[in-house]
Structure 1
């Protein structure tokens, strides 16, 4: 900054001193986007690297910034953000969108307050969240409908993944992070069981992280009966590699391509369309109500911490206990007997 004055040197010194006094409190005011990029995002990346948050959580934050927060507030100076405008913005969202956006807004203004850039109260104000509720599709498939989806996948390269995701209960990213050589067979009960270690997850772009959603998420997914045998056979025949490989085979398929392939399977099966993540809810429903498995054991097979199951990492003895429980339950309620006929060979997906 400069100012030209036509005065004596002494008068110029006085004017300079006056300008310094007038503007002593002035400082550059960054935009919301600048604070996000320079302060918040690096902090979140460090937390992910230190294991405090998962890579999946980091991806959700990035997606929420790109879709909701950045387009509205990215170019707005942080000191110009008004509570009334933020509330109006939240009012136009679903409840889940607003809840995620609120987390990011608070991160930005917490950093602003910590570094004395501006007052951070606009980020933590008790805003009213939308009351319409979560509009996500919560529909599930029945066992017969899951069977139809499996038959549509039979013989394709999607089949091993579909069996794990639909009949083993992991999250979508967890099911994509399975390697074929890790699947093993347990035959110590009345029904054969395929045991699938869930020890990593694949991200939206196919990147793989050894960190799951929580520190307790490592667990065993178990698939009983003919589908379990089918899964073990397909994994053995396929050799080492990802259960749902990407185009080059050195990483899992990316999430968007998997969604498109799965939607094609659903259409081919002639059953209602729901998001691929709803396979997990469908599995929990039939495992509880059809197989009659104890809810505490279901929680552990979903990677949750139950009320008395305290193991926090995948281990083979616990996997065998879960396999024994599911083997017994399936023998009493053999829902897939007769589903698997002559084993189809893996064929390219049409």
Structure 2
């Protein structure tokens, strides 16, 4: 049963719920005819069993999602990732919005905005989580029609990986002040964010003895990042569990970095804790926008791989250094040698020295401002 009543200058519709209580349609009507038509539509839907409570459509996305997470059975790492996507990207944009107020055009505008700030893979992953939320909301009758339809997404497969020159790395590193060693270390080791920021003091080791292949200073990789949280143990890919040779000059940078603080981390935050992306981004993004717009921190890793390819570093060593797993059978019977790593250290040193000369300095310490940018 539904009826209409006048409220001020408008008309509203009241309808009976299955529990016997009455609810008010969220829409207001300027004419009696329009309100009466709405009441008749509600009664018709109730008789046919297709009626859904319009009040559900006024529910805010932020009120729906916590229960949605509780009902879904994600694998633990996947849940951490989705919760991080919700907290960082989705909730600030949609958490305060009613389901009925979200349009397809607004979703497309949001996706376009993310494309200006993030890589294609990140944009697609975040949108995928939001679309999943909206799809379940539609099934639960919170949405009449899912606005996540016919959305144009960036082509992640066609995304061009950007690489920096050694001189650009020098300029980026010197522009981020106390994080100079972090930028240089990432570009010249090819580590992922979670690997380099998770490195502890014990991760930097000096191997001695008869094993020529592992002799010298090395960085031991044993940390990964999951949704912004550092995890000790095996990195996310099997071959990522590795140790990396360091050129002598880079080992010196590590030594001076460690001598400058007492944190357990090699590259800590200004408070000595694990460095978080948001804190680093406050320094990195202005420097990046000024020196190499659109260049991501992860592109330092791509730069390292590009340099090795240009220097014709053997594929087996490239895969080992980057933590890549090769599907080629020949790689199962190939191993890195001391000569291979020595040649790579020589090539990286040449690039480093050339970048210092191009920057007009002969000592990298002149480019590093430990106290701040």
Give the TM-score normalised by structure 1. 0.64
Q: Return the offset for 1:332.
A: 5.8
In the other structure, the counterpart of 1:165 is 186
In the other structure, the counterpart of 1:142 is 165
Checking the alignment, whether the CA contact within 8 Å between 1:176 and 1:201 is kept in structure 2 is no
Checking the alignment, whether the CA contact within 8 Å between 2:319 and 2:326 is kept in structure 1 is yes
Equivalents in 2 of 1:215, 1:190: separation in Å? 22
Distance 1:296 1:264, change over 3 A: same
Q: Return the offset for 1:75.
A: 0.6
Match of 1:199 among 215, 219, 223: 223
More strand by percentage: 2
In the other structure, the counterpart of 1:63 is 88
Distance 1:92 1:147, change over 3 A: closer
Equivalents in 2 of 1:260, 1:347: separation in Å? 16
Q: Return the offset for 1:335.
A: 1.7
Equivalents in 2 of 1:282, 1:16: separation in Å? 62
The 3-state SS of whatever aligns with 2:296 is coil
Q: Return the offset for 1:260.
A: 3.5
1:1-350 aligned within 5 A: 23=46, 26-27=52-53, 29=56, 31=59, 33-34=61-62, 36-42=64-70, 47=74, 50-52=76-78, 55=80, 58-66=83-91, 68-70=93-95, 74-77=97-100, 85-86=103-104, 89-90=107-108, 93-94=111-112, 96=120, 99-100=124-125, 102-112=127-137, 116-117=140-141, 122=146, 127-130=150-153, 139-150=162-173, 157-186=178-207, 188-189=212-213, 192-201=216-225, 207-210=229-232, 214-216=236-238, 218-220=240-242, 222-234=244-256, 237=259, 238=261, 241-249=264-272, 251-262=273-284, 272-273=292-293, 274-290=295-311, 292-295=312-315, 297-308=317-328, 321=336, 325-331=340-346, 334-336=349-351, 341=363, 347-350=370-373
Equivalents in 1 of 2:364, 2:225: separation in Å? 32
Distance 1:326 1:120, change over 3 A: farther
List per-residue Cα deviations over 1:204-250 (Å, max 9, x = no partner). 5xx5344888454743362532233214423653555122222432x
The 3-state SS of whatever aligns with 1:200 is strand
Q: Return the offset for 1:33.
A: 0.4
In the other structure, the counterpart of 1:314 is none
Q: How many residue pairs were aligned? A: 310
Checking the alignment, whether the CA contact within 8 Å between 1:194 and 1:223 is kept in structure 2 is yes
The 3-state SS of whatever aligns with 1:301 is helix
Distance 1:133 1:218, change over 3 A: closer
Checking the alignment, whether the CA contact within 8 Å between 1:246 and 1:254 is kept in structure 2 is yes
Checking the alignment, whether the CA contact within 8 Å between 2:178 and 2:370 is kept in structure 1 is yes
Distance 1:135 1:240, change over 3 A: same
Distance 1:33 1:323, change over 3 A: farther
In the other structure, the counterpart of 1:7 is none
The 3-state SS of whatever aligns with 2:313 is coil
List per-residue Cα deviations over 1:122-143 (Å, max 9, x = no partner). 4785x25257989999543212
Unpaired runs of 5+ residues, structure 2, are 4-15, 22-41, 357-361
Unpaired runs of 5+ residues, structure 1, are 4-14, 310-317
Alpha carbon RMSD of aligned pairs, Å?
5.0
List per-residue Cα deviations over 1:90-122 (Å, max 9, x = no partner). 2674364863454134322443466x5478984
The 3-state SS of whatever aligns with 2:56 is coil
